[in-house]
C-alpha cells in the first residue's frame, strides 16, 4: 500500500465511508408532529433551561457590495427556506414531549434598513444575541442594512437546532446560486433533495436499537470508564452557570513546521488532524499535570450520501480520551491518539446526547458533561458567500459566546501554514493566560516536528523555567547571641509576662544559665537533644534558652501528648533528658532523665562557655505525614537565625507579642523569639485557656505589636471581638498554617480595616515560613484563597511537574523550595531525607513540599492544596477544600471543613459546618458527636434543648457563652426530636439548607453524602483542624420521609407522581436522584405552570429539585405576580368591581 493509498483510506474512513450498500433513509409522512433527533433534543433542553439563549445561535455578519439587491436577497432566502424544511420547523410540546412541526413555505423573518455603519453594527449585535422562540418562530432571521457609503451589512442568524457547519456551507453555496440566477432573470436549478431532516430524525431513532446500540455503547463504556475531569488552572472561580462571553486568541503555525507535521502523520498513517490533536492533548496534559486527557471533537455525522446536501443538525460530538506513560514519545502519542480517534469514528453513530444519558454523567450547570475542552479543524460555523459580483467580507464578532471552557480550532491556509484560534470563557480565564497557552502550543508543535521521538513529559514548553528568588539574605546573628546582647542592653525591661508573673531580661537570662549548667552536668551538649515538656508560663522560655546555652537542641513536646507517644518521640530523637512542667510528674518515660524546671537548686548564674556555630542543631520538631509515623525535622541555628532576621519587620508599633498556641509547633517561633531579640515583652496566655475565651484574653492585654495565628484562630476572633477590640488588637496580623480564605479576610476587615495582614506559608522543613503575602489596608482580596505571595529573603523556589521540569506561569505544579533556610532533613530517616530533599540544578538542595502551587501573571504564587489531598468519588477527583469553601459561603455558616470517610476505594464526603448563630440544628436528622476537651484544648459545656416533635436524638459539640457558663471540661449538647439546640435564641441553618446550597453550587458528585452541624470545628493545639476529633457520619438515622405540609406541596407532589411515576414523593426527595431526567423535569415544570398559571424556570428547579423547592418557586412566583398588580387589577382578581 502506497502513502497515497493509506491517506485515501484514512480520509474515507474519517468521512464515514464504509463497505457495501446500505438501505437508504426512508421518507416519513408529514401529517403531524414528528420526533426530534437526539442532537435536537439536547439543544431544545438547553434552550428551555434559559441561560443558553444566545450560546447556540449561529450568526453571520457579512459586508456586501453596493450591487446587492435587497429584494433578490429576500427572494433567495425565502427559496432556501422553502427548499429545506428544517428552516421552517417549529418545536412544540405534545403530551409533554418535544416534537417538531414542519410548516408550509411562507414569508421569512426579513428586515431591511438604511443605517450608519455604527448603528448597523449595533443592530447586527442585537440581532445576533436575540434568542429564538422555538415553539412559535422559524429558526432563521435575515437582516440587511444599507450603509452611507453604499455597501450593505448582511446579517443571517440561525439556531443550531436547524444547522451545523456543513449545512452553512450548503446554504452559502445555494444562496449564491439562487441569487445569481434571479439577478440574471432566470430560475435556479438545484438538485432535488432525497430526504429532509425530519426523515433523518425518525430514521436515527429507529436505527439505534438492539445489537447495534449495545455494541456501540459497550465500546464507549469501556473507553470512558473512570473518566477523569481535567483540572484546568483557572484564573477565577468557576461560576455557577456555564456560558457567557468568550474571547479569542489567534495563532499561526509556520508552513515549514506544518509540512513536517503532515509528513509525520503520513509516517504513522494518521491525518494532520490527529497529529495536531496529539500535540494539543500533550499540551493539556503538561498544563494540568496529568497523562490522562479528555477532549471533545465534532464530526459532521454525514456518513450517508443522501444527506450530503441536506441542511440540519447532524454534527456529533466524540469524546477522545488519550492515556500515555511517563516515557511516551510524541510519535507514540500520535499512534495512541490515532487509535482513540479511529475507535471513536467507528462508534460515532451513538449521539453524544445518548452517551451522556447512558453513562449517567453528573449534572453540573457550570460545565459540559464528560469534557471541558473542545478541539476541531474549523474555526467557525458561519455562512460563507463567494460570488465574483458579490464579494463578501466576513465580520467576526469580538466576543463570541463561550460554549466550552476552552476550544482550539486549527485549519489549513493556502500558503501551507496553519491558522488557529483558542476560544475561552472570559469568566474563568484571563487573555494573558490563553495567549501563553497558544504560544506553548506553537512551540510544542515545532519541537515535535523537529524530533518526533521527543518524550512528551520532557518537551520544553517555554524557553526556561522561572526561578523565584527572594531578596538577598542579610548576615544574621544567632538568636541566642542576639537575646543575650538584648539582656545586657535592657536588663530591667520585662521580657516575660505570664499571668501575674513578670520576668525581666536579666532574670530570664539568669534562669536560662542555671538550666544550662544543670543540663551540662547531665551530659547535654552540641548535637544532643533535650525534650521540653513545659506549659506556657514563666518556665517555658528559660527552658528553651537554657537548652541552647548548654549547646544542645530542644525537642518541644505538647502537654497533651499521650505517654506512649511521648516515649516514642523521645526515643526517636535520642533525647536522654526531659525538662518537665512543675506539678505532679504523672507517668513519665523511664528512658529519660526527668528534670523539673522549678527545682533546679543552686547553679552558676553566668552563661557556660559555648561555641557559636550556625550549623549546630537548634531544635527538632516532629510532624505527621503521609508516611505513617511522625518524622523529626532537624533545624539548624543558622537556618533559624535567617528566618528570624527575615521577619524582623513583623513588629508594628508598641506592645507585647502574644503566645497562645503550643510551643511544640514551629508556627509560634516568631512569637517566641522575635520579641526577645528586640527588647519587647512576650505575653504567655495560660495553657488551659478555653478557645471560647480567646478573644477576651487577647483583648485584655492589647495592643500587640504583632500576633501570629492560624485562619481558624482568626475565624474565632471575628466572632469574639467587637469592632473596637479588633481595631485595637495588633499592629500586624500574621496568619499561617492553612490556606487563608479571602472571605475571612474580608470579614476581618469589616471589624479592623486598618490592620495590615500577612499570609505566611512554609512547611516545617523550610524553617517556619518561606513565602509571604502582605494584604495592606484597603486592598480587597480576590475570591478564593489569598496568595502565599513571594519568596522571603534568601529563599529560592521552583514550581515543577512530575518529571521535575519547570512548569509555565499559570500552570499548577509542585512547589520546591531551596535556600539556606532548609532543614537538615529527617532525624534517623536518610532515605526519606534523600526522597524529599533533592539536588538542585547548579548545586544546593530543593525541598519537595508536596504542595500544589502556581505562579500568577502578577508574579505571586497561589497555593492550590496538597498533591495528595484529592479524593476520588465515583470516578471524579475532588478537592475537599473546594467544597468546604462553598459551605462557608452560605450566610448561615461561620466555618466548615470537608473530609473523606469510608473504606479505601469507596470514600464518602462528609461536610462539617458551624452555624453563624452558634446553634446546632438537627434539621433533617443529622447528629454530631462531642469532642474531647483534652484533644481540642477547649472546655465544653452541657446544654439540653427539646424543640420540635419526634423522638430522634442527636449529640453535638456546643461552644459559646451558654456552654461556657456551665462548663464541665467535657460534655455534649443533646438535641431531642427534629428541632434545634439553640444557644442564642435565633434561627439556625439546617442540614437541608446546606444540602440545597451545595447542590446549587456544586455538581452532584461533589455534594457531601453527609452534612453534620457542629458547635465548633475542633482544633489541634497548634490551631489546625483536628480531623480525628470530628464526629463520624452516620451517628443519626437517615432523613425520614416527609409528606407534603402545605396545599401547594400536595399539588406539586401529585403532579410529580403523575409525570415521573414515583408514588408518594417526600418533600425533600431529589428528583434526579430518584431517576428523573431533563425531559421529565421539563414536563413536570410544564404541568406546574399549567396548574398554577405561573412561569417557573428550569434553572430554578435545577437549583432545588424537590417538591419543597418547586412549591417554594410557585409561591414566590404567585407572590411576585400579585405584588405587581395595580389596585384595580387586585379588585378584578378577587371578582370585585372597580371604582
The yes or no reply on domain 230-378+400-458 and CATH 3.30.559.30 is yes
Mean pLDDT is lowest, of 143-157, 169-183, 578-592, for: 578-592
Is residue 954 scored above 70 in pLDDT?
no
C-alpha cell at 83: 427548499
By CB neighbour count within 10 A (0-12 exposed, 13-18 middle, 19+ buried), where does 758 fall? Answer: buried
pLDDT at 659 (0 to 100):
96
Structural Rg of the chain based on CA atoms: 35
Q: Are 266 and 7 in contact (CB under 8 A)?
A: yes
Between CA 273 and CA 756 the distance in angstroms is: 54
pLDDT 10s digits, 731-760:
999 999 888 989 999 999 999 999 999 999
State the helix-helix crossing angle for 197-207 and 38-49, rounded to 10 degrees: 110
- Of 595, 561, 557, nearest to 577 by C-alpha is 595
Closest CA to 790 of 843, 848, 862: 862
* Segments of 629-763 assigned E as strands: 631-636, 657-659, 682-684, 707-709, 733-735, 757-761
Mean pLDDT of 499-516: 96
What pLDDT score was predicted for residue 875?
A: 37
Q: Does the pLDDT of residue 615 top 80, yes or no?
A: yes
Highest mean pLDDT among 22-36, 544-558, 848-862: 544-558
Domain boundaries, the chain: 230-378+400-458, 877-1029, 1047-1133
98, pLDDT greater than 60: yes
Greatest mean pLDDT among 383-392, 712-721, 1122-1131: 712-721
How far apart (Å, rounded) are the C-alpha atoms in residues 260 and 264? Answer: 6
Q: Which is more confidently placed, 67 or 900?
A: 67
Decide: 1004 and 364 in contact? Cβ < 8 Å: yes
- Minimum mean pLDDT range among 138-152, 353-367, 547-561: 353-367
Residues forming a β-bridge with 401: 245
- The H-assigned helical ranges of 647-739 are 669-673, 694-701, 711-720, 723-727
- For the sheet containing 893-903, what is the strand order? 893-903, 906-915, 1010-1013
pLDDT at 943: 29
For residue 873, pLDDT over 70 is answered with: no
Strands 529-533 and 246-253 turn out to be unpaired
Phi and psi based region of residue 551 (left: phi greater than 0; alpha: psi -120 to 50; beta: remaining): left
Predicted local distance difference test score (pLDDT) of residue 329: 96
% pLDDT > 90, the chain: 47
Answer yes or no: is pLDDT of 533 > 90: yes
Predicted pLDDT of residue 1: 39
pLDDT tens, 449-479? 999 999 998 888 765 557 899 999 888 999 9
Q: Report the distance separating Cα 960 and Cα 269, nearest Å.
A: 71
pLDDT band at 71; cut points 50, 70, 90: very high
Q: What is the DSSP string of 353-407?
A: HHHHHHHTPPP-TTS-SS-SEEEES-S------EETTEE-EE---SS-B-SSSEE
Residue 925: predicted pLDDT: 33
Burial group, residue 728, by CB count within 10 angstroms (0-12, 13-18, 19+): middle
Q: Looking at residues 302-319, what average pLDDT do you find?
A: 89
From 81, 73, 257, 225, select the one nearest 152 (Cα to Cα).
73
Q: Which of 303-307, 813-817, 1096-1100 has the lowest mean pLDDT?
A: 1096-1100
pLDDT tier for residue 857 given thresholds of 50, 70 and 90: confident
Q: Judge residue 136's burial from the number of C-beta atoms within 10 Å of its C-beta, 0-12 exposed, 13-18 middle, 19 or more buried.
A: exposed
Q: Looking at the DSSP assignment, which residues form a beta bridge with residue 991?
A: none
Dist CA 704 CA 587 (whole Å): 38
682, 676 Cβ separation under 8 angstroms: yes
Interstrand relation of 34-35 and 316-323 (parallel, antiparallel or unpaired): unpaired
Please check whether residue 25 is in contact with residue 203, taking contact to mean a CB–CB distance below 8 angstroms. Answer: yes
Q: What is the pLDDT of residue 522?
A: 92
What pLDDT is recorded for position 257? Answer: 96
Residue with the three cell numbers 470512558 = 224
What's the whole-number mean pLDDT along residues 312-330? 93
387 phi, psi to nearest 5 deg: -120, 140
Q: Domain 1047-1133 falls in which CATH fold?
A: 1.10.1200
Average pLDDT, integer, range 1088-1092:
82
Q: What is the pLDDT of residue 279?
A: 97
pLDDT at 870: 54
Task: Name the fold adopted by 877-1029.
Answer: GMP Synthetase; Chain A, domain 3 (3.30.300)
Amino acid at each position: 500500500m502506497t502513502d497515497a493509498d493509506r491517506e485515501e483510506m484514512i480520509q474515507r474512513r474519517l468521512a464515514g465511508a464504509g463497505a457495501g450498500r446500505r438501505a437508504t433513509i426512508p421518507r416519513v409522512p408529514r401529517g403531524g408532529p414528528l420526533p426530534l433527533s437526539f442532537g435536537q433534543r439536547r439543544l431544545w433542553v438547553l434552550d428551555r433551561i434559559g441561560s443558553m439563549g444566545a450560546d447556540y445561535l449561529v450568526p453571520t455578519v457579512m459586508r456586501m457590495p453596493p450591487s446587492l439587491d435587497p429584494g433578490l436577497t429576500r427572494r433567495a432566502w425565502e427559496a432556501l427556506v422553502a427548499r429545506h424544511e428544517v428552516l421552517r420547523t417549529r418545536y412544540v410540546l405534545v403530551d409533554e414531549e418535544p416534537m417538531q412541526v414542519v410548516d408550509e413555505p411562507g414569508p421569512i423573518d426579513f428586515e431591511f434598513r438604511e443605517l450608519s455603519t455604527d448603528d448597523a453594527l449595533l443592530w447586527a449585535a442585537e440581532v445576533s444575541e436575540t434568542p429564538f422562540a422555538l415553539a412559535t418562530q422559524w429558526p432563521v432571521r435575515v437582516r440587511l442594512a444599507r450603509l452611507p457609503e453604499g455597501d450593505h451589512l448582511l446579517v443571517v442568524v440561525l439556531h443550531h437546532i436547524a444547522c451545523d457547519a456543513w449545512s452553512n456551507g450548503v446554504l452559502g453555496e445555494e444562496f449564491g446560486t439562487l441569487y445569481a440566477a434571479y439577478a440574471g432573470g432566470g430560475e435556479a436549478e438545484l438538485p432535488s433533495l432525497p430526504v429532509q431532516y425530519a426523515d433523518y430524525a425518525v430514521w436515527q431513532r429507529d436505527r439505534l436499537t438492539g445489537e447495534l446500540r449495545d455494541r456501540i455503547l459497550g465500546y464507549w463504556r469501556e473507553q470512558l470508564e473512570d473518566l477523569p475531569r481535567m483540572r484546568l488552572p483557572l484564573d477565577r472561580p468557576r461560576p455557577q452557570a456555564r456560558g457567557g462571553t468568550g474571547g479569542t486568541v489567534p495563532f499561526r503555525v509556520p508552513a515549514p513546521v506544518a509540512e513536517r507535521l503532515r509528513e509525520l502523520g503520513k509516517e504513522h498513517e494518521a491525518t494532520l488532524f490527529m497529529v495536531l490533536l496529539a500535540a494539543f492533548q500533550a499540551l493539556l496534559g503538561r498544563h494540568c499535570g496529568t497523562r490522562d486527557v479528555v477532549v471533545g471533537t465534532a464530526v459532521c455525522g454525514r456518513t450517508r450520501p443522501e444527506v450530503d446536501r441536506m441542511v440540519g443538525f447532524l454534527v456529533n460530538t466524540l469524546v477522545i480520551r488519550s492515556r500515555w506513560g511517563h516515557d511516551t514519545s510524541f510519535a507514540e502519542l500520535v499512534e495512541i491518539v490515532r487509535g482513540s480517534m479511529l475507535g471513536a469514528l467507528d462508534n460515532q453513530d451513538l449521539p453524544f446526547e445518548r452517551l451522556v444519558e447512558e453513562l449517567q454523567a453528573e449534572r453540573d450547570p457550570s460545565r459540559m458533561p464528560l469534557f471541558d475542552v473542545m478541539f476541531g479543524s474549523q474555526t467557525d460555523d458561519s455562512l460563507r458567500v463567494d460570488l465574483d459580483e458579490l464579494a463578501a467580507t466576513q465580520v467576526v464578532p469580538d466576543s463570541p459566546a463561550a460554549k466550552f471552557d476552552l476550544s482550539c480550532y486549527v485549519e489549513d491556509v493556502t500558503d501551507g501554514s496553519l491558522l488557529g484560534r483558542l476560544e475561552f470563557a472570559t469568566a474563568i480565564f484571563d487573555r494573558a493566560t490563553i495567549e501563553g497557552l497558544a504560544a506553548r502550543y506553537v512551540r510544542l508543535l515545532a519541537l515535535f516536528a523537529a524530533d518526533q521521538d521527543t518524550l512528551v513529559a520532557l518537551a520544553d514548553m517555554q524557553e526556561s523555567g522561572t526561578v523565584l528568588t527572594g531578596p538577598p539574605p542579610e548576615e544574621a546573628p544567632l538568636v541566642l547571641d542576639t537575646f543575650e546582647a538584648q539582656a545586657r542592653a535592657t536588663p530591667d525591661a520585662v521580657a516575660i509576662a505570664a499571668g501575674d508573673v513578670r520576668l525581666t531580661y536579666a532574670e530570664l537570662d539568669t534562669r536560662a544559665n542555671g538550666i544550662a549548667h544543670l543540663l551540662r552536668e547531665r551530659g547535654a551538649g552540641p548535637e544532643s537533644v533535650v525534650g521540653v515538656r513545659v506549659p506556657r508560663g514563666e518556665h517555658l522560655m528559660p527552658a528553651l534558652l537554657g537548652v541552647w546555652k548548654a549547646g544542645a537542641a530542644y525537642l518541644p513536646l505538647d502537654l497533651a501528648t499521650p505517654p506512649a507517644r511521648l516515649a516514642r518521640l523521645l526515643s526517636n530523637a535520642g533525647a536522654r533528658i526531659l525538662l518537665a512542667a512543675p506539678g505532679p510528674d504523672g507517668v513519665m518515660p523511664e528512658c529519660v532523665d526527668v528534670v523539673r524546671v522549678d527545682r533546679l537548686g543552686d547553679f552558676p548564674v553566668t552563661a557556660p562557655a559555648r561555641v557559636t556555630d550556625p550549623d549546630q542543631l537548634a531544635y527538632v520538631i516532629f510532624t505527621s505525614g503521609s508516611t505513617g509515623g511522625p518524622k523529626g525535622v532537624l533545624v539548624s541555628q543558622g537556618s533559624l537565625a535567617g528566618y528570624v532576621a527575615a521577619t524582623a519587620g513583623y513588629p508594628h508599633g508598641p506592645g507585647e507579642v502574644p503566645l497562645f498556641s503550643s510551643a511544640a509547633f514551629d508556627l509560634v517561633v516568631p512569637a517566641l523569639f522575635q520579641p526577645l531579640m528586640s527588647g519587647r515583652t512576650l505575653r504567655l496566655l495560660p495553657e488551659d485557656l478555653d478557645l471560647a475565651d480567646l478573644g477576651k484574653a487577647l483583648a485584655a492585654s492589647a495592643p500587640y505589636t504583632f500576633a501570629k495565628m492560624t485562619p481558624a484562630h482568626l475565624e474565632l476572633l471575628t466572632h469574639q471581638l467587637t469592632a473596637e477590640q479588633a481595631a485595637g488588637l495588633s499592629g500586624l496580623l500574621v496568619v499561617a498554617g492553612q490556606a487563608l480564605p479571602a472571605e475571612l479576610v474580608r470579614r476581618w476587615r469589616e471589624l479592623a480595616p486598618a490592620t495590615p495582614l500577612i499570609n505566611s506559608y512554609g512547611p516545617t522543613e523550610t524553617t517556619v515560613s518561606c513565602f509571604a503575602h502582605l494584604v495592606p489596608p484597603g486592598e480587597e482580596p480576590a475570591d478564593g484563597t489569598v496568595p502565599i505571595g513571594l519568596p522571603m529573603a534568601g529563599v529560592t523556589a521552583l514550581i515543577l511537574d512530575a518529571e521535575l521540569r519547570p512548569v509555565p506561569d499559570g500552570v499548577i505544579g509542585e512547589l520546591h523550595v531551596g535556600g539556606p533556610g532548609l532543614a537538615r532533613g529527617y532525624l534517623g530517616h536518610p532515605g526519606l531525607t534523600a526522597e524529599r530533599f533533592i539536588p538542585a540544578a547548579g548545586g544546593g538542595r530543593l525541598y519537595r513540599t508536596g504542595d500544589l502551587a502556581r505562579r500568577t501573571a502578577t508574579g505571586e504564587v497561589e497555593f492550590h492544596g496538597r498533591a495528595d489531598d484529592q479524593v476520588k468519588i465515583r470516578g471524579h477527583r475532588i478537592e475537599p477544600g473546594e467544597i468546604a469553601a462553598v459551605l462557608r459561603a452560605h450566610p448561615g455558616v461561620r466555618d466548615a471543613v470537608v473530609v473523606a470517610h469510608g473504606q479505601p476505594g469507596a470514600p464518602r464526603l462528609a461536610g462539617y459546618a458551624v452555624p453563624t448563630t452558634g446553634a446546632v440544628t438537627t434539621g433533617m436528622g443529622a447528629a454530631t458527636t462531642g469532642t474531647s476537651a483534652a484533644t481540642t484544648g477547649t472546655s465544653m459545656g452541657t446544654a439540653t434543648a427539646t424543640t420540635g416533635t419526634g423522638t430522634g436524638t442527636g449529640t453535638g459539640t456546643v461552644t459559646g457563652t451558654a456552654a461556657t457558663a456551665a462548663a464541665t471540661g467535657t460534655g455534649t449538647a443533646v438535641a431531642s426530636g427534629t428541632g434545634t439546640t439553640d444557644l442564642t435564641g435565633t434561627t439556625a441553618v439546617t442540614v437541608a439548607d446546606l444540602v440545597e446550597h451545595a447542590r446549587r453550587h456544586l455538581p452532584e458528585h461533589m455534594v457531601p453524602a453527609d452534612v453534620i452541624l457542629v458547635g465548633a470545628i475542633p482544633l489541634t493545639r497548634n490551631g489546625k483542624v483536628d480531623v480525628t476529633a470530628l464526629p463520624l457520619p452516620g451517628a443519626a438515622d437517615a432523613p425520614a420521609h416527609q409528606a407534603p405540609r402545605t396545599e401547594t406541596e400536595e399539588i406539586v407532589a401529585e403532579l410529580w407522581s403523575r409525570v415521573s411515576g414515583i408514588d408518594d414523593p417526600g418533600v425533600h426527595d431529589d428528583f434526579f436522584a430518584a431517576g428523573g431526567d431533563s425531559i421529565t423535569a421539563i414536563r413536570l415544570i410544564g404541568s406546574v405552570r399549567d396548574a398554577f398559571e405561573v412561569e417557573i424556570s428550569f434553572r430554578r428547579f435545577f437549583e432545588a429539585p424537590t417538591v419543597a423547592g418547586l412549591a417554594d418557586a410557585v409561591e414566590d412566583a404567585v407572590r411576585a405576580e400579585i405584588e405587581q398588580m395595580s389596585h384595580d387589577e387586585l379588585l378584578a382578581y378577587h371578582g370585585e368591581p372597580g371604582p
